């Protein structure tokens, strides 16, 4: 949600061109928001800015027609609008009235209204409708009182702000420094050779350096080409832990695919294998990473609560079936945005599992913080190393899926399920709920899954053709039972966010309690069929549900395993997946639904990787 880039290089080094660095960083962060974009450069003791509504290409076009001053210090922003529409005026950077300070912001300044009022009373004219602009004016007002110390000014202003914010500032009088402040929203420093970067995400600078420092909560960083100083908001020096980013720039490129989403769908077999890699020891026992919860504490757990949003929430819903089945511990799955507002019953014997690709989703972060305050132990299942959730958790299991750039989550979903299963098996192991050979058998099933996902990917051409055929549909319904229910929800979410189409997922048994009224002639209904050899009652029941919708005119699209001929008489289209045990089936059944949504959006001429109104990482509540 909003991408932020700052750059400071060494004067005279030709390759240290701030505009190029900032714009290339912005392009890599565009997935975070794409309502408007802008840059500010420090050159000849002046600020030079340009900003445009719309995608970064609009900004680049505007820059093309101008003589841009040579500069080695600059900042840039790509916006996901919260306060104020996506206009040129509301685009960042925002500049103080004296034209000396430019600021970019990610997050929401909750007390912005009173700060605007205060500024107005001192004669400041605000030129945008944003919450962010106040920060530029406030910093400019403080600067003379602190001898022009930009870091100190930002510290003082940060102490006055409420809400979530990453702020990055430049000052026309200080061409050798950029300063950033962080509360709740991410900010990472990249340390290059005689140059340095500040960004919301390492993707912005990965092609220049892999040495990074993640800023902590309530910290201010002063970044020069020669070094970095970090303090807390009070000015006390803060300890930093540099780390080396373990993926390279190519991982954040399309790698020959037309779309990031297509690449990420194709990467799923490898991603699942990487989630499993190294987790099963030579003795066959599971070992999870960053586990700061003791086995004794795991044995004491009486309740599990999964908190997550969107696709990650659906992964949690799948995991519930396995975790309860394997551990016999009650497991609730809660939308993170609802969790802390319902007075949940949480105590020291509650294990909260926060599931998040980005590790920055504000709703999930707030839910896990709340749970920790209530004494719960928190385990994060996360894809982004160094992000906030792993840092604030008692234990972490990384999904190791590599960067996910497309706004629609794909490989994150599969790997989150696998990671949550590993947690379930680990609990069953330490609590003695299952025998070692039972756990081993499930591990072997999991290890089979990359091959099975590969098999599905080999056969999705028919799904693509079907999506093109149905591209004019106005509504698509998805039904499933047991773990097939969250798969149905996920299929519907993909279609909504990519094809802007009415799509809903239902527990198949619920249809008759209302939603069946939606069925009319020709409405496509996608059915996730459980394995034939699984629980017979489940298979038989959903077979009846298919007949019920078909009898009312639905066009049935049935996802069923190879060899399940029972569905053929009732299916207008059958999508085949390899035979797989029930609990593993979401890992294969979801893949055709991802392809279906991607192709449907393409056929409708929509932007698959950057759907309207969305952003990859949702860092506001």
Residues that bind ligand M6R (CB under 6 A): 309-312, 356-358, 361, 364, 407-409, 412, 493, 497, 617-618
Going through 211-322 in order, the beta strands assigned E by DSSP cover 211-214, 219-224, 227-232, 242-244, 303-308
Write down the least CB distance from residue 335 to ligand M6R, Å: 11
Catalytic residue among 2, 309, 331, 598, which?
A: 2
The angle formed by the CA atoms of residues 499, 204 and 378, to the nearest 5 degrees, is 75
Peptide bond before 93: cis, by omega within 30 degrees of 0? yes
What lies within 8 Å, CB to CB, of 148 at 6+ separation is: 171, 173, 174
Question: How many Å apart are CA 531 and CA 514, to the nearest integer?
Answer: 26
3-state secondary structure (DSSP) of residue 340: coil
Contacts of residue 17, defined as CB under 8 A and 6 or more positions apart, other chains included, come to 9, 70, 71, 72
Strands 36-43, 73-79: pairing kind: antiparallel
CA 54 – CA 612 distance, rounded (Å)? 11
Is 616 a residue of the active site? yes
47 or 407: whose CB is closer to ligand M6R? 407
What is the nearest approach in angstroms of ligand M6R to the Cβ of residue 199? 17
Least Å distance, CB 408 to ligand M6R, is 4
Token digits for 492?
């519907």
Least Å distance between CB 357 and ligand M6R? Answer: 3
Q: Is the dihedral of CA 405, 354, 333, 614 positive or negative?
A: negative
Contact 154, 179 (CB under 8 A): yes
CB nearer to ligand M6R: pick between 170 and 353: 353
Of 55, 263, 494, 616, the active-site residue reads: 616
CB 552 to ligand M6R: min, Å: 30
Task: Please state the closest distance from residue 594 (CB atom) to ligand M6R, in A.
Answer: 9
Query: Which CB, 185 or 617, lies closer to ligand M6R?
Result: 617
DSSP 286: B
Q: Which is nearer to ligand M6R, 409 or 610 (CB)?
A: 409
* Closest separation in Å from C-beta 279 to ligand M6R: 20
Report, in Å, the least distance between residue 257 CB and ligand M6R. Answer: 18
Taking the least distance from each CB to ligand M6R, the nearer of 137 and 320 is: 320
Smaller CB separation from ligand M6R, 32 or 182? 32
Q: Report phi then psi at 94, rounded to 5.
A: -105, 140
- Give the span between the Cα atoms of 193 and 208, in whole angstroms: 9
CB nearer to ligand M6R: give 357 or 602. Answer: 357
Q: Which two tokens stand for residue 114?
A: 């009173």
Q: Between 357 and 585, whose beta carbon lies closer to ligand M6R?
A: 357
Distance set, CA 178 to CA 141, 202, 216, 554 (Å): 18, 17, 17, 59
DSSP letters along 461-527, please? Answer: HHHHHHHHHTTT-SEEEEEESTTHHHHHHHHHHHHHHHH--EEEEEEGGGGGGTGGGG--TT-EEEE
- With CB atoms as reference, the residue minimizing the distance to ligand M6R is 310
Pairwise CA distance, residues 133 & 120, whole Å: 12
Active site residues: 2, 616
């Amino acid at each position: 949600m909003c991408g932020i880039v700052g750059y400071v290089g060494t004067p005279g080094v030709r390759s240290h061109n701030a505009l190029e660095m900032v714009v290339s960083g912005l392009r890599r962060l565009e997935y975070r928001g794409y309502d408007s974009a802008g840059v500010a450069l420090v050159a000849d003791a002046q600020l030079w800015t340009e900003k445009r509504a719309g995608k970064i290409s609009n900004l680049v076009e505007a820059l093309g027609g101008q003589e841009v001053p040579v500069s080695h210090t600059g900042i840039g922003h790509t916006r996901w609008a919260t306060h104020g529409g996506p206009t040129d005026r509301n685009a960042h950077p925002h500049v103080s009235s004296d034209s000396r300070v430019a600021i970019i912001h990610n997050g929401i300044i909750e007390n912005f209204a009173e700060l605007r009022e205060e500024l107005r009373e001192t004669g400041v004219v605000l030129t945008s409708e944003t919450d962010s602009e106040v920060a530029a004016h406030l910093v400019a007002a403080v600067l003379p009182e602190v001898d022009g110390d930009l870091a100190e000014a930002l510290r003082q202003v940060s102490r006055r702000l409420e809400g979530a914010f990453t702020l990055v500032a430049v000052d026309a009088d200080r061409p050798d420094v950029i300063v950033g402040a962080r509360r709740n929203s991410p900010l990472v420093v990249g340390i290059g050779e005689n140059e340095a970067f500040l960004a919301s995400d390492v993707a912005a600078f990965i092609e220049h350096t892999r040495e990074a420092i993640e800023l902590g909560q309530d910290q201010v960083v002063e970044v020069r080409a020669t070094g970095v100083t970090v303090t807390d908001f009070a000015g006390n020096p803060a300890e930093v832990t540099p780390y080396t980013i373990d993926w390279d720039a190519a991982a954040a490129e399309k790698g020959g695919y037309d779309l990031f989403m297509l690449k990420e769908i194709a990467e799923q077999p490898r991603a699942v294998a990487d989630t499993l890699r190294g987790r099963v020891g030579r003795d066959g026992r599971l070992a999870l990473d960053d586990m700061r919860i003791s086995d004794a504490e795991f044995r004491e757990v009486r309740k599990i609560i999964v908190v997550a949003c969107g696709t990650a929430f659906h992964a949690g819903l799948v995991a519930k079936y396995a975790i309860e089945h394997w551990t016999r511990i009650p497991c609730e799955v809660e939308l993170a945005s609802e969790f802390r507002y319902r007075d949940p019953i949480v105590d020291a014997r509650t294990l909260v599992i926060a599931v998040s690709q980005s590790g920055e989703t504000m709703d999930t972060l707030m839910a896990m913080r709340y749970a920790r305050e209530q004494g719960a132990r928190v385990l994060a299942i996360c894809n982004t190393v160094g992000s906030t959730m792993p840092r604030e958790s008692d234990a972490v299991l990384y999904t190791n899926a590599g960067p996910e750039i497309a706004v629609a989550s794909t490989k994150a979903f599969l790997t989150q399920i696998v990671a949550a299963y590993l947690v379930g098996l680990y609990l069953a192991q330490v609590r003695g709920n299952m025998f070692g050979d039972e756990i081993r058998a499930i591990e072997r099933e999991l290890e089979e899954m990359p091959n099975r996902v590969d098999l599905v990917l080999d056969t999705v051409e028919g799904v693509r053709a079907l999506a093109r055929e149905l591209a004019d549909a106005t509504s698509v319904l998805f039904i499933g039972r047991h773990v097939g229910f969250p798969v149905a929800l996920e299929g519907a979410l993909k279609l909504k966010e990519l094809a802007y189409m009415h799509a809903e997922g239902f527990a198949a048994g619920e249809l008759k309690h209302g939603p069946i009224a939606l069925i009319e002639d020709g409405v496509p209904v996608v059915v996730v069929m459980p394995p034939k050899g699984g629980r017979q009652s489940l298979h038989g029941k959903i077979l009846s549900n298919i007949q019920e919708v078909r009898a009312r005119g639905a066009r049935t699209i049935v996802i069923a395993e190879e060899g399940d001929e029972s569905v053929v008489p009732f299916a207008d289209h059958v999508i085949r997946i390899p035979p797989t045990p029930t609990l593993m089936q979401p890992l294969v059944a979801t893949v055709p639904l991802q392809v279906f949504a991607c192709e449907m959006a393409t056929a409708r001429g929509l932007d698959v990787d950057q759907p309207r109104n969305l952003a990859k990482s949702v860092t506001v509540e």
